[in-house]
Amino acid sequence: MADPVFRIGCGAGFGGDRLDAAVPVVDALAEAGGPACLMFETLAERTLALAQLERAAGRIGYDAHLEGRLSPVLKRCLDHRIAIVGNFGAADPEGAAEAIADLAKRLGCRAPKIAIVGGDDLLSGSNDADLAALLATGVPAGERVISANAYLGAREIAAALTGGADVVVTGRVADPALAVGPIVAHLGWDFDDCDLIAAATMAGHLLECGAQVTGGYFCDPGFKDVDGLEAIGFPICEVSADGSLVVTKPRSSGGCVSERTVKEQLLYEIHDPAAYLTPDVVLDLTAVEVREIGRDRVRVSGAGGKPRPETLKATVCYEGGFVGEGEISYAGPNALARARAAMETVKRRVDKDLKFRADLIGSTSLFADDSGLLLSARELPESRDVRLRIAVAAKDRRAVEAAIYEVGALYTCGPAGGGGVRTSVRSRVSTGSVLVPRASVTPSYRFHGDA
Amino acid sequence: MDTVSASTRSVALHELAHGRAGDKGDRLNVAVIAYRPEFYPLLVSAVTVERVRDLFAERRPGEIARYELPRLGALNFVIDGVLDGGVNASLNLDGHGKSLSFRLLEMEIAVDEETIAKIGYLREENQ
């Protein structure tokens, strides 16, 4: 009898995620033996623009950690027919496919059938003047667009998998689509069945941030204790033909799956819970039920769906000038007063036209606002170990460097006992968001090696 | 002595609920989830849009929406314009605003003795 459950595991929840995360997930999927897929989400909002710049500079335009992520699991996935779907193609899905084919050869695997999903890149090969004008509304006047990518849905991923792909490489797709594609392809669901697509989207939403649903970004000692964060198990979702889901993780891994972890991730980055917009469906979470049915096993049901929106979201990236940071520390008696004196000293020395922010780390930093209202409005918590942080931003790199140079000069010109100066200046990519009509976007897929 | 104030105390929301922050552009969402189903009505009555606006006053919030999710025992706050332009524009060390769930969980909530006892039980359960 065929296994009625389709399992989808997550091997990465963002571009900086652990490189060994997928190994226990693939072990668990292989051990379970039924049909399964492994997804990787490695693209943040501005990652694509950074990748585009890397590619333009002649360096790697796909996920720089692609090989590190896939090396430990590629052979086992191919041997067990566990399809791999990832947005690790970034700005160069073709290059990523080439790298995977090459890696498979070096690892002595059978040659994988690799599909490439394209059409998200709205700048390449398009001479649609209306589209160009629309994208320009996403950046301030006079700025040059570095990248513009639409968030694609899951249809091309599903079609590629139905066509026999072992690996599907994408650029920008909506994160949940990395799960929706495989689920729909395997269970044979209809993209017009809104409630089922909603269930698949909810699965993708729960999986897309990796360990965030298995006890990561969750632990609060004494309140929400989590063991084994150093070996946290990445999530696996079991999807049944009726659309019900069970979230779990590999046995003997760290972390936990509980009603609490699932509820937190369910609402992560959600605005109106009755209308979470994705390219494949409008997801309604208001009737969702979350129930623990066993150790590290949580059933999630009740997702509702409405037809997909008529527009696709696109992220537009442009050069955002330069950001500089400088830090210096003060400790012991009167540390806060000395750090404040240092802050005032730098503030008086730097160009008033620069965007400027100061933090008194150890007393007041993360909760404060850029305009400095919180820092000046209330009595600051005392601390005997304060690190002054200055941050400045401007279009002109030299202006930023000159301001940050002032932090180092505090060694001799500033208050007593200042130590541990660190400074950095880096370029920055800014982003804007535009809604694009579906007619302006042409998603497609093809197999690597085909003409 | 006033009998009402004798039987009520103030605790941080952190004792009653857990939370998670997420960002999209300059918009922050914070989910506030009751540790126990019995705490949910208290969250609904005490954790109001006005109080959230006060907590984030320095950031001059725009629109704040509160969504009630009784089946999850959760409230979802969507707060516009409090991330200094968002992660690609802000100079905050935490440009995403990931730490801001704990800003909301600092809110002081008036509770009765019965609730205090349940919080104590919750603590033991977690140990």
In chain A, % of residues over pLDDT 70: 99
Q: Which of A260, A273, A370 sits opposite B18 (nearest CB)?
A: A260
Contacts of A367 in chain B (CB under 8 A): 99-100, 103
Do B37 and A259 touch, CB atoms closer than 8 A? no
Based on the domain organization, do A273 and A327 belong to the same domain? Answer: no
| Sign of the torsion angle spanned by Cα atoms A294, A256, A39, B95 | positive
Based on the domain organization, do A166 and A152 belong to the same domain? Answer: yes
Indicate yes or no: CB of A370 within 8 angstroms of CB of B29: no
Residue A72, chain B, CB below 8 Å: the answer is no
Q: What ranges make up the beta strands (E) of A332-381?
A: 355-361
Collect all residues with Cβ–Cβ distance below 8 Å to A344 and sequence separation of at least 6. Answer: none
Residue B78, chain A, CB below 8 Å: the answer is yes
Based on the domain organization, do A60 and A190 belong to the same domain? Answer: yes
Shortest alpha-carbon distance between residue B117 and chain A (Å):
16
- Note the pLDDT of residue B119: 86
- DSSP 3-state of B75: strand
The pLDDT of B86-113, averaged and rounded, is 95
Based on the domain organization, do A286 and A362 belong to the same domain? Answer: no
Residue B104, chain A, CB below 8 Å: the answer is no
Indicate yes or no: CB of B74 within 8 angstroms of CB of A267: yes
Nearest chain A residue to B20 by CA: give it.
Answer: A264
Q: Which of A356, A357, A366 sits opposite B99 (nearest CB)?
A: A366
Based on the domain organization, do A134 and A181 belong to the same domain? Answer: yes
Shortest alpha-carbon distance between residue A391 and chain B (Å):
6
Contacts of A274 in chain B (CB under 8 A): 67
Residue B1, chain A, CB below 8 Å: the answer is no
Burial A93-106 (b: 16+ CB within 10 A, else e): bbbbbbbbbebbee
H-helix or E-strand spanning residue A245: strand A245-248
Question: CA-CA distance, B73 to B38, in Å (whole number)?
Answer: 9
Nearest chain B residue to A322 by CA: give it.
Answer: B89
Question: CA-CA distance, A155 to A161, in Å (whole number)?
Answer: 10
- Structural domain count, chain A: 2
Q: Tell whether the model's pLDDT for residue A1 goes beyond 60.
A: no
Q: What ranges make up the beta strands (E) of A266-412?
A: 276-277, 282-284, 289-294, 297-301, 304-306, 311-331, 355-361, 385-394
**Residue B3: pLDDT band by 50, 70, 90 thresholds?**
very low
CB contacts < 8 A, A to B, total: 119
**Interface probe, candidates B29, B59, B63, B72, chain A, greatest A C-beta count within 10 A:** B72
**Interface probe, candidates A205, A267, A355, A430, chain B, greatest B C-beta count within 10 A:** A267
Residue A272, chain B, CB below 8 Å: the answer is yes
Question: CA-CA distance, A182 to A173, in Å (whole number)?
Answer: 14
Q: Which of B58, B71, B73 sits opposite A373 (nearest CB)?
A: B58
Based on the domain organization, do A99 and A245 belong to the same domain? Answer: yes
Based on the domain organization, do A307 and A370 belong to the same domain? Answer: no
Nearest chain B residue to A324 by CA: give it.
Answer: B91
Residue A223, chain B, CB below 8 Å: the answer is yes
- DSSP 3-state of A389: strand
- Note the pLDDT of residue A102: 97
Residue B54, chain A, CB below 8 Å: the answer is no
Lowest mean pLDDT among A185-189, A348-352, A441-445, B3-7: B3-7
**Closest by CA position to A41, among listed A67, A9, A72:** A9
- Note the pLDDT of residue B125: 64
Residue B90 lies in a domain: no
Residue A362, chain B, CB below 8 Å: the answer is no
Based on the domain organization, do A386 and A355 belong to the same domain? Answer: yes
- Note the pLDDT of residue A46: 75
Based on the domain organization, do A184 and A287 belong to the same domain? Answer: yes
Question: CA-CA distance, B33 to B39, in Å (whole number)?
Answer: 9
Based on the domain organization, do A218 and A310 belong to the same domain? Answer: yes
Residue A389, chain B, CB below 8 Å: the answer is yes
The CATH number given to whatever domain includes residue B68 is: 3.30.1360
Q: Tell whether the model's pLDDT for residue B12 goes beyond 70.
A: yes
Tokens matching residue A230: 């150093």
Shortest alpha-carbon distance between residue B76 and chain A (Å):
7
Tokens matching residue A448: 């690597």
Distances (CA, A) of A39 to A46, A172, A178, A180, B83: 20, 14, 6, 10, 30
Residue A398's domain spans which residues?
317-431
Contacts of B72 in chain A (CB under 8 A): 263, 266-267, 288, 290
Indicate yes or no: CB of B93 within 8 angstroms of CB of A273: no
**Closest by CA position to A119, among listed A344, A383, A443, A395:** A443
Question: CA-CA distance, A176 to A98, in Å (whole number)?
Answer: 25
Q: Tell whether the model's pLDDT for residue A354 goes beyond 60.
A: yes
Indicate yes or no: CB of A269 within 8 angstroms of CB of B100: no
Residue B44's domain spans which residues?
3-84+96-126
Indicate yes or no: CB of A273 within 8 angstroms of CB of B59: no
The single-letter DSSP state of residue A227 is S
The pLDDT of A4-11, averaged and rounded, is 95
**Residue B1: pLDDT band by 50, 70, 90 thresholds?**
very low
- Mean pLDDT over the full length of chain A: 95
Nearest chain B residue to A274 by CA: give it.
Answer: B67
Indicate yes or no: CB of B33 within 8 angstroms of CB of A270: no
**Residue B2: pLDDT band by 50, 70, 90 thresholds?**
very low
Based on the domain organization, do A222 and A345 belong to the same domain? Answer: no
Q: Tell whether the model's pLDDT for residue B102 goes beyond 50.
A: yes
- Note the pLDDT of residue A128: 81
pLDDT digits over B53-85, tens only? 999 999 999 999 999 999 999 999 999 999 999
Question: C-alpha B27: how far from its chain's center?
Answer: 16
Contacts of B58 in chain A (CB under 8 A): 368-369, 371, 373-374, 377
- pTM, 2 dp: 0.95
Tokens matching residue A41: 């989400």
- Tokens 């690799």 belong to residue: A114
CA angle A75–A77–A83, rounded 5-degree value: 135
pLDDT digits over A231-260, tens only? 999 999 999 999 999 999 999 999 999 999
CB atoms within 10 A of CB A81: 11
pLDDT digits over A140-172, tens only? 988 888 899 999 999 999 999 999 999 999 999
- Structural domain count, chain B: 1
Q: At what angle do helices A194-207 and A259-266 cross, to 10 degrees?
A: 110
- Note the pLDDT of residue A146: 87
- DSSP 3-state of A185: helix
- Tokens 């809110």 belong to residue: B107
Nearest chain B residue to A270 by CA: give it.
Answer: B29
CB atoms within 10 A of CB A420: 10
Indicate yes or no: CB of B92 within 8 angstroms of CB of A370: yes
Do A171 and A89 touch, CB atoms closer than 8 A? yes
Question: CA-CA distance, A358 to A390, in Å (whole number)?
Answer: 5
Based on the domain organization, do A107 and A172 belong to the same domain? Answer: yes
Question: CA-CA distance, A257 to A234, in Å (whole number)?
Answer: 10
The pLDDT of B102-116, averaged and rounded, is 95
Shortest alpha-carbon distance between residue B6 and chain A (Å):
27
Question: CA-CA distance, A388 to A360, in Å (whole number)?
Answer: 5
